[in-house]
Amino acid sequence: MPFTPFHLGPALLLGLIFFSYVDFPTFLIANMIIDIEPFVVLTMNLGYPLHGILHSFMGGTLTGFLLAMMMKKVRGFLTPVLRFFKLEQKVSLEHILLASFSGIYLHIILDSPLYSEMRPFFPLDINPLLSTNATATLGIYTLCTILFIAGIAVYMAKPIHEQRKRQNPSLTH
């Protein structure tokens, strides 16, 4: 999905569901960062596959480490924005790493059935996840859209749930 908002759907919903375990802004960025690759390929008119090395688990792993290192340095600056959206979290390197890798790998898994030029298991020259079924492609886009809507619903319900937890502490279990 070259630089589309579709990856935001799974990122938003799963980031909110696993909010206690992953660094939320890192997870959002991780789900979309490797689409820099098709953007650069298209804008610079490179003779390179749209979904090349960054869309492989090897390239994704390297990108994950770089993203985690960057987020560790800048994460504190995002606290006011997260506070505004009622999504404040304690900064944790473990949560940043988990968010970075899981977000990037989720992106690769979602894209692999869609693009014949992808080699998710590079250096192997195969894509065993590729689907030639148009229904599968439509299904992935539909799933991402539904997950986005569900993510918005979960985000909107979060303050209500937090208020209920404060009023009835037995709901925390």
Q: What is the pLDDT of residues 93-125, one digit of tens each?
A: 999 999 999 999 999 999 999 999 999 999 999
Q: What is the pTM of this model?
A: 0.89
Q: What is the pLDDT of residues 17-29, one digit of tens each?
A: 999 999 999 999 9
Q: Give the structural domain span for 150.
A: 5-172
d(CA 31, CA 66): 14
Looking at residues 80-84, what average pLDDT do you find? 94
Q: What is the pLDDT of residues 42-51, one digit of tens each?
A: 999 998 999 9
| Helix spans in the chain (H) | 8-17, 24-33, 36-43, 57-74, 79-84, 93-111, 134-167
Q: Check residue 165 and give its pLDDT.
A: 72
Q: Check residue 168 and give its pLDDT.
A: 75
Q: What is the pLDDT of residues 149-162, one digit of tens each?
A: 999 999 999 877 67
d(CA 113, CA 129): 5
Domain tally for the chain? 1
Q: Check residue 171 and give its pLDDT.
A: 61
Q: Check residue 2 and give its pLDDT.
A: 56
